[in-house]
Structure 1
Amino acid sequence: MIYQFGKFEIDTRNYRLRNDGTTVELEPKVFDLLNYLIVNREKLVTREELFENIWSGQVVSDTSLSNQIKAARKAIGDDGKSQSIIKTVHGRGYQFIAETDELEIQDNSVRQGHRQIASQKHSDSRPSIAVLPFTNLNGDPEHEYISDGITEDILIGLCRFHNLLVISRCSVYMFKGKVVDPVIIANKLGAEYLLEGSVRIAGDRVRITTQLVDGATGKDLWAEAYDRVLDDVFSVQDDVTQRIIATLATRLEKAGREAAVKKSKANLTVHDLLLRARHCYPDWVGTQEGILRARKLYEQALDIDPGCAAAYSGIACTYNLEYLSGWCDDKKTAGQRSFEYSRKALGLDDRDSNAHLVLGCAYRDIMANLELAETHLNRAISANPNDYWNYCCKGGLLIIAGKYEESIECSHEAIRRNPMLPDSCLSSIGFAEYFSNHYEDALASFGESLNPSPHIDAYIAACYAQLGRFDEASIASSACCEHNRKNPKIETIEDADCWRTYWSDYWHFRDPAIDHLLDGLRKAGIVH
């Protein structure tokens, strides 16, 4: 359903509030509050009713509710003084009083039959997923709010990923409590993938299980179980849903990239081209050939759709990676183009988290403007708080700013969303821990790298040396030299200036951080 009032419209299917066509960012609870008031606008809604329906009976202070009402009013151009849209009835509750029109959304999955579903699949090539209501295995209504809350949080979180098509809540809830073949559900909903799950509470523990199902075959593609102590149900719910969202988004994007690579060129859509391009530099790391190929694919996407913000932010990313590479012939031009294309992307879609991410990295890597870099990285996180890479990049920025403990906290947010972080993120965590003198922790972080390199061996040696474990430091130093001999990464491994240049150019470290690293390498016998 779409509710229109003044210049605003609230889209309950896609969880969007728009002001004259422009999306207004809202916290999920503020959206739920606004939606509930609009749906029940014919009556006064008491505070108790809001607590019960929006917070599922959770203990919430009157001040918290007042702050949420204030945020809702601000989002729709209202305030506590005029109360022209949301009226306060003191001591009782609130009522939505603006004149409102309702527009029915035709739900292809329920009302229009299979022919329109097939048309929908062909018109939107993004991977589509339906999050089915999680099952309350305890069977008692008392715990229903937990399973429903997890379902809602996952659905809202996945909607933040613009490269996924998420089937609406009103469509999936028709299957709540029913035993239906997954293939039939997927066919009815027009979904390529289904997410199923369950919640079981026993004493002070809760087990949340989830599985990703192929809608065409009904086969499980991925399954996971999360066991937690139920000391704070909402903290547990938040932790588990974030892990599920991050894992799902990564797996679905990878599946989409692999499918796009297999398609014939004649059948490629804009989204296919975007997926093919991202396939060229997995985990934001790529070769010269891969990065240049990605740029061409993004340009092909723009030939089809000149208004594609994701293609512009993708091109900006390739120029940022080129700027940081060892093969860039014209750093000035590469840097300028990274900014140029990032700004074009934001001009088309100010909510594009990747555009804010790339622009933030450009300010960090090219201009060394840490303040503007942090502003855009924060906006990337705000636009998509479930993308682990946003936190990885901000964690790297905080290291440069010397805010090591904050960097570690930020990186832990990335780990919550993706426990299998790429090596660049693990190195960033290791550096923050090393600079904080947490050498044991840094040793563990560097040691988790899946791709041994002379750099990683050197940092491990430095950690051992700082801990006074010189025999182990010597072994790591030998491994560093051997790796560099077989696959040269450092021109003169014993030369402090070579290391200083690398850390300055690639990681943007400054003194005293660089001196701290060199001290460890000297103690380990790598640098003379």
Structure 2
Amino acid sequence: MIYKFNNFELDTDNYRLLTNGEEISVEPQVFNLIVFLVQNKDKTVTRDEILDTLWKGKVVSDTSINNHIKSARKVLADDGVKQQVIKTIHSRGYQFIAETQEPSLNSTRRFSVPYKKILALFMVVFLVGISIHFLRKPDAEQSLPALHRIAVLPFVNIKPNTKTDYFGFALANQIIGELVYLKKLAVKPASSIRKYSAEIYDPIIVGKELNVDYILTGNYLNLDNNIRMNIELVKVSNNKLIWRDEQIKVTYQNAFELQDIVAQRVIDGLKIEFTTSELNRIKKDISTNPLAYEYYLRSTAYPLTTDGRKLAIEMIKKSIALDGNYAPAYAQLGNRSRRLEQFGLVDAGELSSSEQYYLKALSINPDLMSALAYLSMYYTETNKIEQALKLARKMSVINPNDANTHFTLGYIYRYAGMIDLARQKMEIAVAIDPSNPKFRSLIAIYANTGKYHKALKMTDLYKQGPFTLGWKGLLYRRLGEDEKALGYFNQVLELDKDGLWANVATFFKAYIQNDYKQGLQALQNLATFAHTDGETLYYLSSYYALLNDKNNSLTNLEKAINAGYFNYQFMASNSYFDSIKNDPEFKKLLKLAKAKHLDFKEKYF
């Protein structure tokens, strides 16, 4: 239904709020609150009714409800003083008071009494089934609109050779980049499908592994300066062929046309309506130089290792030299450079700052989702959190259903100490795309809020490597099961000899075994990974506190806060700081973090 009031349209079927015809971004739970108030506009709704309807009996603070009311008013151009849309009925609750144009009766089918009873009975059974279903999924998924989940798998080279093998993954990556603008699709990111580049795979098995509704797959042949492709879209649940397109053919010089051709075939095949603005965004990122496009595609296929990043950077530089107006090339250059910057793996002056590459990409295409996401994360980690939030909220306007948009917002909120919002946003990201390894970062929120078993359960969703094994060790250490923790730390060290998680594992092994010297050395090594990132500095600070090294703990905690990490609730509740919690300097730093958190909260919520 569509409710109209003032200059707003509230579309409850498509989860949209528009003002003067333009869609605006709304937090999912704030949207749900507005809908609830509008649908009950003839009465005062109590705080308990809001709590029961929106949070389903969960424990939520009064402050959280107040913040959601404040956010709803802000979205609707109202505030607590004017109260022209949402009125506070003191000691009772709230009422929606704006004059509302009711949905037309013609838009709602009318049933006779017997049919109503049958419908009511059906709805009871349906809702019970849905409730059971959602018990098995993250809480946040209940507020998600219906999305078509799709994975674009790397295309198979019919005649494999080292010169053209790159094309299969690279083209899939480009198609993913185009489909991400479409609000009714949830598209698996390139990171989720990269591993299938060197495999012979069964598309249906892969589709089930990735938890998607549709698989786009196919093959290609590069012959006589032409590229021929066969592609098909398959529904995973019943192995039904939605469509097959045989012998798409373009010249090698016009390979860039393929991403648009295939993306359009997907749109047509799914028979989903998309807005003109969504489709227009797809057409922005086309290189004008065939060789520049080839260099760019080759860069995307290099692995995410130090050597792979350096090779990719060289290839992107060649691409940009031929076409300096292709936005994705600058976004890719920034992303590949960022990791090298973080760990001091590039000589000073060898590259411009990754920030400059992201900004260049956005100057060419202000809506480029990859550049918005990369720059937002960069700003979060470099003490520019307000700029990060501005970019992430723009992503939410472009595609409010994009999993990476929700994750990016959650990441920002975690740094700012908005724990409930951070958890909610990351849970939504995981609900949309459960297999995306980037989203395993939600484990940190569960771990830091005492939900150790929930965090452990989440580590099993992902491939077992240093990250997941390291977290298992940390979580069992928190649960007091040191022997289990040692087992996982040993597994980390078998896989990672000198990386970040190797040093974390070495430290906790030394701590458990009372080897102070070895533990201190591990922390000194860990400091090389933490010199720019506030969250890593925070963890480093807490580990020094475990060793009763007050000076190093306070020094690194101050660095963390000054680097833009001010999650004071994590700091205040972390038992690793017990040895210094009564120290005046620690209290001073905690007060500083809290002040930054409250300032952020006041400005944006």
Relative to the length of structure 1, the TM-score reads 0.47
Relative to the length of structure 2, the TM-score reads 0.41
